Structure 1
Amino acid sequence: MSYVVDFVDVSPVGLESSPVAEALAGLRANEARYFRNKYEHVFTVEPASERPDIVEWVNRILAERDIVIASPALEATEFEVDGIRWSYVFYESGLSINVLYTLDHAGKRAVGFKLTDGMAVPAELADKFKFARQRSKLAGTIRGSYFAIKGEY
């Protein structure tokens, strides 16, 4: 069952099993606000169990860097705006992974990692990435990093 993410009244619906559910809900709402303001897109997520295709696609891209996420995936979404395929997976640990994949071969393609306020850097990412901090009214302190995608997916 899909859930339209509300960035005005932030709710941890679908994320309750996470030890940082409130912070993860804030991070998810922060993403919803971004897409609403920039693209007028309504950010809707589904349980990851209903969208294993998205989780598998993200996992194939992560394999490019030998990354396997240990935490269970809770929610996933995928949509296209302005010629960009966006895929998101939200994990129980508080990690959010997004894939920006420009459909034009000359465009940008990258994987972004965002860590919710209060979570430790996952062991599978700790030695491979440095995380920059940003402040968000909805999510508190977000730590983020990324890598450029080299392959074709």
Structure 2
Amino acid sequence: MTSLSIIRRGAGAGLTALAATAVTVLAAPSAYAAVQSVSVEGSDHKVGTTYTITAEVGGASGGLLVYFSDNGEFIGAPKVPWPPGSSTIEWKPSTPGQHIITVEQGGSTKSIVVEVSKASSGGTGSSGSSSLSGTGSAGKLLGGLLGVLLGSS
């Protein structure tokens, strides 16, 4: 065997190894996909009610911190997936309307849209009366201050 054919065989093996590496690198991003699904408990979401957001995570970066956000604002601190493959956080919407809940982990993101409605009134308040004096100490204090300011104490 001549040195020229050894060089050709070596180059051929090198190209084969290079092609295999390129295929592995091109296939790698799907192996690193982290956030697989996002869900919010319940179906009739109301302002001021607490819900659990659950993210199912996996892939090679499954152990990285999980970040939750509501319309771009982080919800709490980042979470370590526990038990493995899952991460949860409590969420209490403060405004009605459309909320885009996004979960991020290791460069992977997934979002879900949640409609939040106003909290229903409990019906315990009085209607038709605009008196500022209440039966509690805060109501009495406020009524007394307003009486002094208005000159009718």
User: Normalising TM by the smaller chain, what interval?
Assistant: under 0.3
TM-score under structure 2 length normalisation: 0.25
TM-score under structure 1 length normalisation: 0.25
Could you say which structure has the larger radius of gyration? Answer: 2
